[in-house]
């Protein structure tokens, strides 16, 4: 019988020192001893990418994109070699591969490349010889043989794309939190770890501000039916498994997105605003129609760019934060949510309802309190939710 | 008309900081502006290889050879990228290539690989597009696609082999001294820089202790008719050119080799000693036959190994240094050299004469003084040499 294949990804913090690399090796060895084939994806040691960037910026504030990729990719080359040495020292045969050696072929977009194809033959041959294969995350090679890097969240993308190409049984993202929580535990002390999360809910949480996984990583895993697991390098629990198509909870999580802005214009200026956003590459998170105005939600740091070319027509621009409940109920929660928040003096400036999410727009200073109120009502105290939503069938 | 092609090699000290990389870029730009095609070979920034080795040794005192090569090769990847960025910033288009990207194919001997073949097509294509090509020294790739490193003097080997493969017009080794001297200037203050040195003399000097160039580098350049130039990164003079087959000087240089030992045995034990040396991989620098004994000159740090298996038969083992005059005259200088040294109380314990060299064996504490005496007699004061060697025709 074919052994299960697991892809494990360890970020920069996880391989930040020789001691931590040892801890990482223990996770890998456990998976190997459990009877799995193991492919490991590693980032550069934490701090290393910044050190290399610092050297480059002493030369040029905008270094040549091609050469920046050559430079930064040296970071993972160091961590992958150190990890393979550690595994070998512990008696487990391991081979490291750069992005190029692993045949991770990308487009030509240096510093922000997209994986086009992975020829997995080298990896599967090494697995067949019973090696643990350690692959550099974040990097690939274009069709000219030039080194490329993937941009933000690159190592997660490497891991999940490799898992897809290898038809892995599971892709495990090791990080410094031990799973996906119902809300950011730094904000809501009663936030609970979710044992299992369905893909639609996870995608919506990632899209609306949950930092635990990058949105493209979740989307790729979903499309390619790769079960994803989030777990902590510094812990032994099973983390959270992201799997399946079906959400079974009224509210499974609450996502917080800070540093946004609500830009409003007169109705007849909206088409022109939308066009400017597109031309400037400013992502519109939401469009809100009110009686008096139309508004768009954008990242706050994009405001200045937009104001430069569109200033005279902007009616209002104000900093906001977004609070999004994700789960089966959305439309049904609108009234009760506004009521619960109004009782505590929090004004919902605007809102947007989607099939499985309710996004509330509010002043930045209100969002933490609001998160606690809704978490208490909808997640911690199930009975409260039930009593207020008697008319809703949860299917 | 085809532009001349120059290969320039810069060692770790030359690229040891962003400021120094800038100085290196100026040398390259000068060569480019002089109408040359330029291929540059760089080492890792000084200190970087030791930093990486230190990390590896925290894991394993003898790290996996394959993974050590992956680790160390990241060092040149950093320096080559920084250099290419600097050239680009200064307005000169440059592309960096790893050993693998430059198709420097080696055997499988990790940590001490030998270059088997260089497919120069990638480099010549980039040169044809008017790029400066920056290649990682010290590293290559074996036929499996694994990263290899070349061992000691590796970057010089990379440079001279690339120059040979590209049929370069000159291979310039930039270092921290500004050329080949008649003797080590730290020992002989009156040592003179040689504008030009023939290959046979340079080979003999490198073999007998001159540190400026590694012996295999000189040998490869000679065999492949690549003119070699030694020059300083921190200076603008033309350095020393190594070229041609013919020595024209009675004595062109004096080499010093320290840390050697003279091991003597009874005549009838010599064959067994020679065999032990061979089996242990101990290089025999010279075999000396005296009336009472036969001796071999070996590196001092090999003595312990030899003594372990051959102890009871060793008649004597003593530390010595070697002083070798290189030039047209060798046999003719034996008597006068011993005389000059004896006058100053220095005993020549033994000697060996070759076609173009006279090697004198003496106690380590005598070698610096002896070097000054012979340098004064044979090089600084030509007339002294002439008066004592009236019977010799210098051809």
Tens of each residue's pLDDT in chain A, 395 residues: 689 999 999 999 999 999 999 999 999 999 999 999 999 999 999 999 999 999 999 999 999 999 999 999 999 999 999 999 999 999 999 999 999 999 999 999 999 999 999 999 999 999 999 999 999 999 999 999 999 999 777 899 999 999 999 999 999 999 988 999 999 999 999 999 999 999 999 999 999 999 899 998 999 999 999 999 999 999 888 899 999 999 888 899 999 999 999 999 999 999 999 998 999 989 999 898 888 899 999 999 988 888 887 777 888 889 999 999 999 989 999 999 999 999 999 999 999 998 899 999 999 999 999 999 999 999 998 655 555 555 444 43
Instruction: Using an 8 Å CB-CB cutoff, list chain B residues near A75.
Output: 74
What CA–CA distance (Å, rounded) separates B189 from B182?
11
Bridge partners of residue B323, in order along the sequence: B256, B360
Instruction: Please name which of A214, A109, A107 lies closest in space to residue A160, comparing C-alpha atoms.
Output: A214
Structure tokens given for A326: 């994700």
Within 8 A by CB and 6+ apart from A11, the residues are A43, A46, A155, A174, A175, A176
Would you call B85 an interface residue with chain A, using a CB distance cutoff of 8 Å? yes
Residues 128-147 of A with CB under 8 A from B: 145-147
- Across the interface, whether the CB atoms of A88 and B60 are under 8 A apart is answered yes
Q: For residue B386, what pLDDT is reported?
A: 58
Would you call A79 an interface residue with chain B, using a CB distance cutoff of 8 Å? no
How much is the ipTM here?
0.87
Of the partner residues A21, A78, A146, the one whose CB lies closest to the CB of residue B71: A78
Which 3 state secondary structure label does DSSP give B148? strand
What CA–CA distance (Å, rounded) separates B72 from B79?
12
Q: For residue B288, what pLDDT is reported?
A: 87
Q: Which residues of A are annotated as a binding site for ATP?
A: 9-12, 175-176, 181, 186, 211-212
Q: For residue B307, what pLDDT is reported?
A: 84
- Across the interface, whether the CB atoms of B86 and A59 are under 8 A apart is answered yes
What CA–CA distance (Å, rounded) separates B360 from B339?
12
Instruction: Using an 8 Å CB-CB cutoff, list chain B residues near A55.
Output: 18, 78, 82
Q: For residue A182, what pLDDT is reported?
A: 96
Residue A96 backbone phi and psi in degrees, to 5? -95, 150
Instruction: Using an 8 Å CB-CB cutoff, list chain B residues near A58.
Output: 18
Of the partner residues B56, B84, B145, the one whose CB lies closest to the CB of residue A67: B84
Domain B253-393 has CATH 3.30.2130.10: yes
Structure tokens given for B24: 């290196």
Within 8 A by CB and 6+ apart from B187, the residues are B256, B368, B371, B372
- Across the interface, whether the CB atoms of A52 and B78 are under 8 A apart is answered yes
Q: Spell out the per-residue pLDDT of chain B, length 395, in tens.
A: 689 999 999 999 999 999 999 999 999 999 999 999 999 999 999 999 999 999 999 999 999 999 999 999 999 999 999 999 999 999 999 999 999 999 999 999 999 999 999 999 999 999 999 999 999 999 999 999 999 999 777 899 999 999 999 999 999 999 988 999 999 999 999 999 999 999 999 999 999 999 899 998 999 999 999 999 999 999 888 899 999 999 888 899 999 999 999 999 999 999 999 998 999 889 999 898 888 899 999 999 988 888 887 777 888 889 999 999 999 989 999 999 999 999 999 999 999 998 899 999 999 999 999 999 999 999 998 655 555 555 444 43
Element (H, E) at B317: strand B316-326
Bridge partners of residue A208, in order along the sequence: none
Of the partner residues A67, A80, A88, the one whose CB lies closest to the CB of residue B88: A67
Contact A213, A202 (CB under 8 A): yes
The domain limits of chain A are 5-175, 253-393
Contact B184, B256 (CB under 8 A): yes
- Across the interface, whether the CB atoms of B82 and A95 are under 8 A apart is answered no
Q: For residue A236, what pLDDT is reported?
A: 83
Contacts 24+ apart (CB under 8 A), B290-293: B290/B264, B290/B350, B293/B264, B293/B265, B293/B266, B293/B267
Structure tokens given for B54: 């230190």
DSSP class of B313: G
Within 8 A by CB and 6+ apart from A157, the residues are A115, A150, A214, A216, A217, A220
Q: How far apart are the first and last CA of chain A?
A: 39
Q: Residue A122: count other Cβ atoms within 10 Å of its Cβ.
A: 18
Q: For residue B388, what pLDDT is reported?
A: 54
Instruction: Please name which of B83, B20, B6, B41 lies closest in space to residue B234, comparing C-alpha atoms.
Output: B20
Which 3 state secondary structure label does DSSP give A343? helix
What CA–CA distance (Å, rounded) separates B301 from A126?
41
Which 3 state secondary structure label does DSSP give B252? coil
Instruction: Using an 8 Å CB-CB cutoff, list chain A residues near B94.
Output: 67
Handedness of CA B344, B346, B352, B357 (dihedral sign): negative
What CA–CA distance (Å, rounded) separates B367 from B361?
9
Q: For residue A237, what pLDDT is reported?
A: 87
Contact B71, B82 (CB under 8 A): no
Contact B160, B153 (CB under 8 A): no
What CA–CA distance (Å, rounded) separates B42 from B12?
7
Of the partner residues A52, A63, A82, the one whose CB lies closest to the CB of residue B55: A82
Element (H, E) at B165: helix B154-165
How would CATH label the architecture of B5-175?
3-Layer(aba) Sandwich (3.40)
């Amino acid at each position: 019988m074919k052994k299960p294949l697991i892809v494990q990804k360890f970020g920069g913090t996880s391989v930040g020192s020789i001691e931590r690399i040892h801890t990482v090796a223990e996770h890998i060895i456990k998976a190997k001893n459990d009877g799995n084939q193991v492919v490991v994806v590693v980032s550069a040691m934490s701090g290393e990418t910044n050190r290399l960037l610092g050297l480059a910026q002493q030369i040029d504030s905008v270094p040549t994109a091609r050469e920046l990729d050559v430079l930064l990719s040296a970071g993972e080359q160091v961590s992958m070699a150190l990890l393979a040495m550690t595994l070998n020292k512990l008696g487990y045969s391991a081979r490291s591969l750069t992005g190029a050696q692993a045949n991770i072929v990308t487009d030509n977009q240096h510093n922000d490349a997209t994986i086009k194809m992975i020829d997995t033959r080298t990896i599967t041959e090494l697995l067949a010889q019973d090696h643990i294969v350690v692959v550099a995350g974040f990097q690939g090679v274009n069709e000219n043989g030039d080194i490329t890097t993937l941009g933000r969240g690159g190592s997660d993308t490497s891991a999940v794309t490799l898992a897809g190409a290898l038809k892995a049984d599971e892709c495990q993202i090791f990080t410094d939190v031990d799973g996906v929580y119902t809300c950011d535990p730094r904000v809501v002390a009663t936030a609970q770890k979710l044992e299992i999360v369905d893909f639609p809910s996870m995608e919506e949480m990632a899209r609306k501000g949950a930092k635990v996984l990058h949105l493209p990583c979740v989307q790729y895993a979903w499309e390619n039916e790769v079960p994803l697991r989030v777990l902590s390098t510094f812990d032994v629990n099973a983390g959270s498994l992201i799997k399946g198509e079906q959400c079974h909870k009224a509210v499974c999580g609450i996502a917080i997105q800070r540093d946004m802005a609500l830009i409003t214009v007169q109705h007849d200026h909206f088409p022109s605003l939308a066009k400017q956003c597109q031309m400037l590459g400013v992502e519109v998170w939401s469009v809100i129609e009110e009686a008096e105005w139309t508004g768009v939600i954008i990242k706050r740091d994009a405001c200045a760019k937009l104001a430069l070319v569109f200033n005279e027509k902007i009616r209002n621009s104000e900093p906001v934060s977004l609070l999004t409940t994700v789960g089966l109920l959305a439309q049904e929660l609108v009234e009760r949510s506004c009521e619960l928040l109004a009782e505590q003096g929090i004004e919902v400036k605007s809102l947007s309802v989607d099939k499985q999410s309710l996004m509330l727009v509010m002043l930045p200073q209100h969002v933490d309190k609001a998160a606690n109120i809704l978490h208490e009502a909808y997640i911690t105290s199930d009975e409260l939710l039930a009593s207020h939503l008697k008319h809703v069938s949860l299917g």
